[in-house]
Structures are given as C-alpha cells and as structure tokens.
Structure 1
Amino acid sequence: MNAPLDTHTTAPVKKALVLFSGGQDSTTCLAWALNHYDTVETIGFRYGQRHAVELDVRPKILEKMRRFAIDWPGELGPDHICDLSLISDISETAMTADMEIRMMENGLPNTFVPGRNLMFLTVAAMLAYRRGLNVLVGGMCETDFSGYPDCRDDAIKALQVALNIGMDTRLNLVTPLMWKNKKETWQLAFDLGGQSLVDLIVQDTHTCYMGTHDQLHEWGYGCGKCPACMLRKRGFTQYCAEKNAQ
C-alpha cells in the first residue's frame, strides 16, 4: 500500500533587504518591512554625500529598531555599508558638493544625482542574491518628492525586470511610499509603531540635504530651507493638524 501523499506545504520565508539611509523615509520603510517580512537586513551607501551625517545616525536608529522589532513579526538581521564614492567622482551635484541648491535648465533640481537610485538598487540586488534575500524595499516616491526621475514607479518596475532577467532571479522591488505624500508617510509611521516610532523619526533620523544636524525642530533635524526639509516640515504640519482635528 502506498504511503499517503503529504499535502502540507510550507510557505516560503520572505526575506527583505531595506535600502536604509538613516532618513525619515527609509526608517519608515524599515518599520514597514519588519511588519511584513520574516527576516530583514539593511544596506546603506557611502557615496560622498554632502549630508554624510546620515551615516552617523544609522547605528543608533538600528539599535532602537531592534527593540521595536521584538513586538513585530520580522527579525532585524545584519547591516551592510557599501562604498560607492565613484558616484561623487563622476557627478558633481548639490548633493555631493558645496554649492547652492537651484533648478537646472532641464527642470530638475541640481540635487539630482543621475543614476544614484539605479545604482543603489543594482548593488542591493547583488547583495540580496548573495545573501539569499528575495525582496528589496526602497523609500522611492513620486507623490511628494523633488522630481527625481529614478524615483518614479516606471523606473523601479523597469529595473526590476532588467535585474531579474540579468541575474535569473525572481527578486521583488517594493516601494511602500510610492503613492504617499509626506503627511501620509508620517501617518504610516504612527500606524506601524505609534507615537514612539514618530518620536524616533523626529529625534534620530536625518533627511536634510545640507547636512545640518545641530538644530532640532518639531519635525526633526535640518536647515529648514532645502527641498528635503521643506517637504518633511510641510508633511509633519499637515499630519499634526489632521491628528489634532480628530
């Protein structure tokens, strides 16, 4: 007599690699990933950025996020830092050099670093391949952003196709903030981790393009004038106004 067939199937373990800069968006995405995947690792990039202070704040944020993760489904694994300083060698922008932020003739701000996110995701995919991770999570957004072409949904989807063809994988590129404005990003942080996570983002993350990290505003550290600070401040003001009205 034949043995009965084993009809039990084990769900595949979902393992994610989060592009984690140390800013508001990537910290929110890290919390989101820890709520959606079994294992989560992080990757950051040193590319000669003017706001390199974001790299300095990462360890403290990760330490606190490990405490949050105790109450979340996902486990926070190793952090990886990659040196991509060639980006600043081949592309002088207001993000990588001491120059005034302005709009260029092509309608983009000169903080745009051509190909930066494409390179970030490609390198992250290489690491994910080696680490056996099947999801990349990034904070790209085209709803409330500075107009960077490589933050657009079409660019991310096209790159996902190219990476999977080129590496013969089934890697999934996920962008939880793609269609959210900054107010909704603050709300998502609250929904994921309550006021404690919102406070962490305000007090510990860095998003300011100018690298200003010596003045804490109600919405976080920053110069208060660059595009990143203005978006963050406006979103926080709208988030607080809506929350107070409830």
Structure 2
Amino acid sequence: MRQRRAVPRGLRRGITLRMLAPNAVTAMALCFGLTGVRYGISGDWERAVLSILFAGVLDGLDGRIARLLRGESRFGAELDSLSDSIAFGVAPALILYLWSLHAMPKFGWIFALAHALSCALRLARFNANIDVEEQPHKSAGFLTGVPAPAGAGLTFVPLYLWLVTGEEIFRAWYVVAPWTAFIAFLMISNIATYSWSALRLRKRIRLELIALVGLLAAALATQPWLTLLLICAVYVLLIPFGILSYAKVRKQPAV
C-alpha cells in the first residue's frame, strides 16, 4: 500500500488568522496600484497618482501591522515584494507612459520600462539579501538606494508640477524621460539613503514634531500637489546628507 508523505505542520495549517490582516493590507496596496492604471487609461491623472500614493501608505502599514500582531511570514514577504513591484514599478511606468512618454519617438516605452525594471531589480536584490548577515547599510540603519514607494513618488514630480502650474513643458517627454531615468538609477544604486531607524531626533522637539506632522497632514489635504513637491524636494536634498552620514558611520571604529 502506498504511504502518504507527511505534510509539514506549518504548511498544513496554512495562513493563521494573525497573518491575515497584514497580508490583506498588502493586497489592498496592490489593488490600489492597479487602480491607478485604470484611472490613467481614462485620463484621470489626479486619481491615478493618488491611488499610487495611497498604495504607498498601505505599504508602510502592512509591515508594522505584521510586527504588532507577530504575523510575519515568508508568504507575507513574498506577497509584499510582488505587490511593490506592481504598485510602485509597473503601475507608475504605465501611468507615465500614458501621460507623457508615449509622445517620445521610438524610445518612450523603453524609459517607462526602465522604471518598472529598476523597481523589480531593487526588490530582487532586497529579497536575495534577507538572510545575508553582512549588510553594511542595514547594520548602520541606512537603506541601499531609494526604496520602491519613494521611487514611485519621486518619479511623478513632473506630473505634480504639471498639476500645479498647468504648463505643458512639464508634460514634455524630453523633461519626463531624463527624470524617469534618474529616479530609476537611484532605485538600483548602492548609495546610502536614510531610513526611519537612521533618523535621530532630540527629545526636546517631540511637541514640535507632532505639530509639524499635523500641519503636514493639513497641507496634504488642502494643497496636495504643492506639498508633495515640497516633500520630494526635501527627500532629494537629504540624499547627499545620507551619503555623508553613512561615510561618517563607516569611519567610526567598531565597538
């Protein structure tokens, strides 16, 4: 009589209830990313961008929910990477192509692909290094390159400018294509960028920070595109400081 192969206990139980919430949030982020493509096809550029940005908010929540509920899993990590690749790689690439890059002779689609491919390569590098002990950037509290959600937000800068000013120059392919290539490079680069754990704030400015976050939320509600431009400008300006800060950390003797 043929003997049945034993099924590992963890696989037999499937996804536990506490794993359901963070994975559901990840799935929502994926769906919002694809919904942005739907709005892009219909020419509703504001909703297209907002869909991607909301996917970014959900992406920032799923990991924290997983840690809070102790619901981390290999399944969740794989789903998160697939969601990020679609929501912050494929979807922004299609939106940019439909909005501007389709007007570029011959190579417009190549620049759109550059963003999607760079996002996928970045996520693949991240997954490949999950179990690697020697990660200089991570051990120092920094990220390697620009993360996928930030890359998606930054690549929309010409679109923000177009929404604010109405000037067609910001929609021109010769403006959008170089910017898209620049952000794609930042995503797959080896430069050190700030992560939340790398930021050190003084205890005396806690109330000021709370006030700033509240005002920022109000600004996003009233003037979203100008506020997003300001956030993107600050992020880009912080990149050189991140590189210098990491260089200082590397020079410090190991304790």
TM-score range, shorter chain: under 0.3
Question: With structure 1 as the length reference, what TM-score do the two structures score?
Answer: 0.24
Q: Which has the higher helix share?
A: 2
Larger of the two Rg values belongs to structure = 2
Select the structure with the greater relative contact order (CA < 8 A; seq sep ≥ 6): 1
